[in-house]
């Protein structure tokens, strides 16, 4: 499957601005939406799990890599997508989940995790050793990052055996998973000097450690193109600021593209410019579950007008009570007054609410909402108010009118923009 991605990105040599978006989510409706959109556009489907979501201890999804693979295969098949065009990737594979531990221990866990991903058939591997561990200085030198990256690559190559050859993504200036935790006015585009040094030191270390063949499968470098999102603001792509970096890439002899993280919430024109400028792998994650939450809460508003109070799901209330009772996944990220925190729990672009959809009480409330709405007829005119884009597709007969179809299509609204920028409608 890795050759599919290499072949797709190689079109850029012929002047074709080919690119691929990478769906980073573990929610079934997001996976379904991604599969339906890829099937519609006859495009590759790249789905990635992060080291926090999926690892040898289960991550926050409770799934190890092999289980996540089966989960994805099941849902893409249900959506009618052919698995031959599916690529599975591992994102931020490195010591990040265990960064509070000493580096040696954290790296041991990371090597085991990378091995499990490769054994499970993941063929796009982002090796991320950029995070400082418990006994590290705050900022790691590129040499240390490169040594640890090669260490992780060795683990992947050992696990591969005679199996498919993975392709790799490297980098030292890797944005924080899930959105910024610092002031956005500090954001700087990666300098050409930093990109040059990162690439050179990684190549040297890989060759020194006998990884020359693996180096030929390094397809992308993670850089900061100047895009990011915080709780209530987004930094849009400014190609003028990124021009030195873009020119640097065009002059490279190494056969690489840029991978752009935190591209969520950009305006449509920004994605087109990113693709044209060589950011050929666009990572998308929180905005997908953000759109899903918008659809769910819109449907709950409809439910409140269609069913008696005693029958209602009370989804928003259940979510709020669960997040207050189990604050570990949002509390350190959302500062301010109690009212500000309440709004952030719902509306923050970082979408920490996505960590809660699998909680049993929330799952039960969602199921009740879907069941309730399946027992009544949602008036078209009501759909027009709450989900206007879905209303138009419903009127044209392009989607079904059940609640889940409305939710999935709302998520596809996000992916349509990415698909158009990457060359597929």
Mean pLDDT, residues 170-177: 77
């289980």: which residue's tokens? 67
Percentage of the chain modeled with pLDDT above 70: 96
Are both 328 and 410 inside the same structural domain?
A: yes
Are both 116 and 231 inside the same structural domain?
A: yes
Are both 267 and 340 inside the same structural domain?
A: no
Are both 228 and 340 inside the same structural domain?
A: no
Are both 136 and 173 inside the same structural domain?
A: yes
Are both 264 and 325 inside the same structural domain?
A: no
Tell me how far apart the alpha carbons of residues 414 and 425 are, in angstroms, rounded to a whole number.
12
Phi and psi dihedrals of 356, rounded to 5? -110, -10
Are both 211 and 347 inside the same structural domain?
A: no
Are both 97 and 209 inside the same structural domain?
A: yes
CATH number of domain containing 301? 1.10.400.20
pLDDT exceeds cutoff 50 at 425: no
Mean pLDDT, residues 116-141: 96
Which of residues 266, 284, 302 is at a domain's end?
284
Which of residues 227, 256, 284 is at a domain's end?
284
Domain assignment of residue 419, yes or no: no
pLDDT at residue number 29: 98
Mean pLDDT, residues 72-93: 94
Are both 244 and 299 inside the same structural domain?
A: no
CATH number of domain containing 111? 3.20.20.70
Domain assignment of residue 18, yes or no: yes
Whether the CB-CB separation of 23 and 79 falls below 8 Å is answered with no
pLDDT exceeds cutoff 90 at 187: no
pLDDT exceeds cutoff 80 at 424: no
The β-bridge relationship of strands 234-235 and 228-229 is antiparallel
Residues in the chain: 425
Are both 326 and 275 inside the same structural domain?
A: no
pLDDT exceeds cutoff 60 at 179: no
Are both 264 and 377 inside the same structural domain?
A: no
Domain assignment of residue 423, yes or no: no
pLDDT at residue number 181: 52
Of 425, 407, 395, the residue nearest 291 (C-alpha): 407
pLDDT at residue number 6: 84
pLDDT digits (tens, 9 = 90+) for 202-231: 999 999 999 999 999 999 999 999 999 999
Count of other CB atoms within 10 angstroms of residue 182: 10
Domain containing 352 equals: 289-414
Tell me how far apart the alpha carbons of residues 191 and 280 are, in angstroms, rounded to a whole number.
19
Residues with Cβ < 8 Å from 302, sequence gap 6 or more? 373, 378, 382, 383, 386
Which of residues 223, 252, 284 is at a domain's end?
284
- Is 163 or 85 the better-scoring residue by pLDDT? 85
Upper half-sphere CA count for residue 82 (Cβ side, 13 Å): 9
Domain assignment of residue 127, yes or no: yes
Number of domains in the chain: 2
Domain assignment of residue 420, yes or no: no
Are both 23 and 91 inside the same structural domain?
A: yes
Domain assignment of residue 425, yes or no: no
Domain assignment of residue 12, yes or no: yes
pLDDT digits (tens, 9 = 90+) for 257-273: 999 999 999 999 999 99
Domain assignment of residue 125, yes or no: yes
């Amino acid at each position: 499957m890795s050759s599919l991605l290499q072949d797709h990105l190689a079109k850029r040599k012929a002047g074709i601005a080919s690119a691929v978006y990478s769906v980073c989510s573990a929610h079934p409706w997001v996976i379904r939406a991604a599969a339906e959109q890829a099937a519609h556009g006859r495009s590759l489907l790249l789905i990635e799990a992060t080291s926090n979501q999926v690892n040898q201890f289960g991550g926050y999804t409770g799934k190890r890599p092999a289980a996540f693979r089966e989960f994805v295969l099941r849902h893409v098949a249900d959506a009618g997508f052919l698995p031959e065009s599916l690529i599975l990737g591992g994102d931020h594979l490195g010591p990040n989940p265990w960064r509070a531990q000493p580096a040696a221990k954290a790296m041991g866990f990371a090597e085991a995790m990378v091995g499990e991903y490769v054994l499970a058939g993941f063929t796009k591997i982002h090796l991320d050793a950029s995070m400082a561990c418990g006994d590290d200085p705050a900022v790691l030198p590129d040499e240390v990052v490169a040594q640890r990256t090669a260490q992780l690559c060795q683990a992947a190559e050992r696990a591969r055996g005679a199996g498919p050859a993975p392709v790799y993504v490297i980098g030292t200036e890797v944005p924080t998973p899930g959105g910024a935790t610092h002031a956005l006015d500090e954001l700087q585009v990666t300098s050409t000097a930093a990109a040059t040094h990162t690439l050179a030191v990684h190549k040297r270390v890989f060759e020194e450690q006998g990884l020359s063949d693996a180096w030929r499968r390094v397809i992308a470098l993670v850089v900061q193109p100047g895009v990011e999102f915080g709780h209530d603001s987004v930094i849009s792509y400014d190609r003028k600021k990124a021009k030195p970096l873009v020119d640097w890439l065009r002059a490279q002899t190494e056969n690489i593209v840029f991978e752009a993280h935190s591209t969520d919430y950009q305006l449509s024109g920004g994605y087109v410019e990113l693709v044209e400028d060589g950011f050929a792998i666009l990572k998308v994650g929180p905005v997908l579950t953000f759109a899903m939450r918008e659809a769910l809460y819109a449907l709950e508003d409809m439910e409140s007008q269609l069913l008696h109070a005693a029958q209602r799901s009370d989804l928003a209330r259940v979510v709020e009570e669960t997040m207050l009772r189990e604050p570990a996944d949002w509390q350190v990220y959302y500062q301010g007054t109690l009212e500000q925190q309440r709004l952030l729990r719902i509306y923050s672009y970082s979408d920490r609410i996505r960590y809660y959809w699998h909680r049993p009480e929330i799952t039960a409330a969602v199921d009740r909402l879907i069941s309730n709405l399946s027992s009544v007829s949602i008036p078209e005119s009501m759909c027009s108010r709450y989900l206007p884009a879905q209303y138009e597709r419903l009127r044209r007969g392009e989607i079904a009118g059940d609640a889940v179809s409305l939710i999935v299509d709302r998520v596809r609204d996000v992916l349509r923009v990415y698909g158009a920028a990457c060359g597929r409608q």
